[in-house]
Structure 1
Amino acid sequence: MEIEDLEQLRVVLETRTTLWGLRLQGLDLTGPEGAALLQRRCAGLVVLGGLLTVDLEHHLRVSGATIFPADPAAPVDPYRARLYTPAELYAGLLERGYATTPDATAYAWSREASLANDAFVTLLRSIHDHSMTDALNELLDGRGVVGVMGGHAVQRGTQEYADAALLGMAIAASGRVVLTGGGPGAMEAGNLGGICRTEVELEAALTDLAAVPSFRPSIDDWARSAWQVRERVAGDRLATTPADVTSVGVPTWFYGHEPPNLFASLIAKFFSNALREDLLINRCTDGIVVLPGAAGTVQEIFQAVTPLYYAPDDVRLPPLVLVGREQWTRTVPVWPALEALAAGRRMAGAVHLVDTTAEAADLLLRPAGAQR
């Protein structure tokens, strides 16, 4: 049983006679909850990071608990039990610039050659990604989720960017969560649409963002312009309760040279790209829209196709919608391969090729049972 906040721990301490099997994740135990633990037998208890007094740490060890230590040198808390907010990852942006933010320092830590074969650092990164996985699954449990995949090269101020944002807004308006890879370009546009409530609000945001089309050459200018739009458009809506979350980004420090966008309500950021890609695809319960992109987007297409191809007959197949006939039949001819794989299989009814994001939204968001 994972205990992720002090209120949950207080209830457990009042109702359970044994602490065996409990996992205390990233808790501050320097207060009354820790004092209560000093009075209990702690065999079988696992403490994952957090804050301990010297007396409590000694008591836990001698009474049979297991303690996983934190690393003060690590720029992230590997035991955190919640997703990131954009403000957390970009803390210090306005005052000191992107290079000093937690996001940038975590990327530098992930690339540090001296740590590449450090078993403890590897363990911490793995625990961090497990924590992200757990938090993401808890957040999305029971929610309808639509993925918006597409390239990072789509620039603000273009029709492609605006179309992706309108798609995100339509998905969120339907009550579903917009899930993207969390980066710039089409991903940013999808997350932006997910937090805008009206077309007027979205149009103003698109106009302001167009002044800084890309994160190249300056992440600082790109992120600061997004920060200003975010504050005006969403404000506190970006850190609301799980039921109110409309837009989630799932980026990775593996591609840390591409910064996360600031328009997701919450962000699940991973060190492992393989784990991140798998979660990103598998959490899209209500379908995936694939906008034009390059190698990374093609990888996501075939990751999404594999479970459709092998799905048993009693499993519902969520739609996979590719947008852009020229893109997917000629520029990057993925569609002929999908047609060949789908021939004679149920998968043929789940994969679609359309010309516009409006068509994609109509196909994905029509009432259940109305899919062609």
Structure 2
Amino acid sequence: MAHHNDQEIETLEEFDATVSARGSLAGFRVQAVDLTDRTRELLACDTAGAVFLGCPMRENAAAKVRADGALVFPPLPDLPFDPYRGHVYSPEELFDSLDKGYEETPDALAYDWFRRTGADRDIYASMLRSVHDDSVSDALDELLRGARVVGVMGGHAIARGSAAYGGAARLGRALARAGFTVATGGGPGAMEAANLGAYAAPYRDGMLDEACELLGKAPSFVPSVTDWARAAFEVRTRWPKGNTSVGVPTWFYGHEPPNAFASHIAKYFANATREDGLLARSNAGVVFLPGAAGTVQEIFDNTTPNYYESRGEPTPMVLVDRAHWTERLPAWPLLQALARDRPMESRITLVDRIEEAPEALDRLSRVNET
């Protein structure tokens, strides 16, 4: 069971346990729980001050709890997503109906809805997106409470089967085996590779090489997201007991599908909320692999709170590939200039090879401890 506010109920089991132990739901928040078969309990117990968010219930039960003074936000069945959801997504949930083609999956349908309502500038749709994203943030906080999270950032264009993809996968595996929770932007490329590596952590080393070879048959989500996703689920079926990790993608870039190797997917509509939330939750450090505009943005999004120490102790930052970050996209000199004479100066480093990143992260973490 997730660790969350004692006043929150997010499963039918929690609902039953609360009613049994307390005989009252007064002041509780019940989130996306189907209460159709709990009419007797709702009629019998006090619900004053309770809030029911997207909970199906029979009309007599709904009338009674409203009379008690509870707030009832009804389910919205015509949406391709649940704005009141109590948990982050799973790959199986987002890719449901993949056998009919990616276009029929909940992920694709939510993206279509987002594009349509965004163009309409419908304030009702905007409110629903905000409620959804806040629910996802709450669920992600509950999921990661007490975890040591390392963020892995990098470009979406790295193809399966490439040396860069394999390196990012080995990085994810090394971090997971060291006891970290790997968190990525949840998309393809380097993000998928790091989630794949974390997934592969419990298996022998050769498994990752075999998985990368299988995935190489569909190197990109272009031209077919369906084939790309099916290859990932083929790997998951062959090796079904993978380790957990987190992906934090966005429908703002909905043309890039989420990857299926993150066991927990916190998908957002608002990209700004997603970016800041991913970096803020990477409490054990961030590794930046070679990337383009999005990765550069993430470097400096993470630098700002480190510079001002607005999140407490600066978190370690490891940039991988000296030539990339000093010549092709020279973010490193500016980062050094910002860090000079600041506490974050001892928490940033540049390494040449991806294999050096875990040791560098460990070294910077020990600086924090001292």
TM-score, reference length from structure 2 = 0.93
For structure 1, the residue ranges without an aligned partner over 5 or more in a row are 238-244
Q: Distance in 2 between matches of 1:368 and 1:108?
A: 42
Does the Cα contact within 8 Å between 2:117 and 2:125 map onto a contact in 1?
no
Q: Where does residue 341 of structure 1 map in the other structure?
A: 338
The one-letter amino acid paired with 1:74 is L
Distance in 2, matches of 1:100 and 1:296, equals 28
Counterpart in 1 of 2:196?
A: 192
1:75 partnered with 2:80? yes
- CA offsets per residue over residues 324-363 of structure 1, 9 Å max, x none? 1111111111111101101111111111111111111111
Asked if 1:361 is matched to 2:358, the reply is: yes
Range with bigger deviation, 15-24 or 156-165: 15-24
Query: Take 1:266 and 1:289, find their aligned partners in 2: how far apart are those partners?
Result: 20
Indicate the residue corresponding to 1:45 in structure 2.
50
Distance 2:81 2:249 in 1: 15
Query: RMSD of the TM alignment (CA)?
Result: 1.9
- How far did 1:115 drift? 7.0
> Counterpart in 1 of 2:13?
7
SS at match of 2:77: coil
Q: Are positions 1:175 and 2:172 aligned together?
A: no
Bigger mean CA deviation after superposition, 35-44 or 171-180: 35-44
Match of 1:134 in 2: 138
In the other structure, the counterpart of 1:16 is 22
Matches within 5 A, 1:273-292: 273-292=271-290
Which runs of structure 2 are paired with 1:150-299 in the superposition (5 Å)?
A: 150-196=154-200, 197=202, 198-233=204-239, 235=240, 237=242, 246-299=244-297
The correspondence for 1:28, drawn from 18, 31, 34, is 34
Query: How far apart in 1 are the matches of 2:343 and 2:271?
Result: 30
Report the secondary structure of 2:55's partner residue: coil
1:241 matched to which residue of 2? none
Report the Cα offset of residue 58 of structure 1. Answer: 1.6
Query: Structure 2 counterpart of 1:363, which letter?
Result: A
Counterpart contact for 1:171–1:365, Cα < 8 Å: no
CA distance in 1: counterparts of 2:25 and 2:228, whole angstroms: 49
| 1:2-22 Cα shifts (integer Å, max 9, x gaps) | 111122222322343653321
Aligned match of 2:107 in 103, 112, 129? 103
Give yes or no for contact 1:174–1:365 (8 Å, CA) kept in 2: no
TM superposition shift of 1:143? 0.8
Give % identity: 50
* Corresponding letter in the other structure for 1:264: A
What is the one-letter code of the residue matched to 1:144?
A: R
Q: Could you tell me how far 1:91 is from its partner in structure 2?
A: 0.7
Letter in 1 for 2:307: Y
- Which of 65, 68, 71 lines up with 1:60 in the alignment? 65
The residue type equivalent to 1:344 in the other structure is D
Q: Of residues 306, 309, 321 in structure 1, which corresponds to 2:307?
A: 309
TM superposition shift of 1:60 = 1.8
SS at match of 1:352: strand
Tell me, yes or no, if the aligned pair for 1:115 and 1:121 is still in contact at 8 Å.
no
Change (3 A) 1:345 1:79: same
Number of matched residues? 361
**Equivalent residue of 2:124, what SS?**
helix
Distance 2:340 2:363 in 1: 25
Amino acid at match of 1:272: A
Q: Where does structure 2 lack aligned partners over 5 or more consecutive residues? A: 1-6
Normalising by structure 1, report the TM-score.
Answer: 0.92
The one-letter amino acid of 1:73's match is: D
Q: CA deviation at 1:222?
A: 1.0
In the TM superposition, what is the alpha-carbon distance from 1:43 to its structure 2 partner?
2.3
SS in 1 for 2:235: helix
Q: Residues 90-111 of structure 1, C-alpha deviation per residue, up to 9 Å, x if partnerless?
A: 0111x21000000000000111
Could you tell me how far apart the structure 2 residues matched to 1:222 and 1:17 are? Answer: 50
User: Could you give the per-residue CA deviations for residues 17-68 of structure 1, whole angstroms, max 9, x where no partner exists?
Assistant: 653321110111122x331111233221111002111211121222221111
Aligned amino acid, residue 49 of structure 1: G
Q: Which amino acid is the alignment partner of residue 163 of structure 1?
A: G
Distance in 2, Cα, partners of 1:96 & 1:246: 27
Q: In structure 1, what is the equivalent of residue 3 of structure 2?
A: none
Q: Distance in 2 between matches of 1:307 and 1:278?
A: 10
Distance 1:188 1:55 in 2: 48
| 3-state secondary structure, aligned to 1:38 | helix
8 A Cα contact 1:145 1:179, kept in partner: yes
What displacement does 1:320 show?
A: 0.3
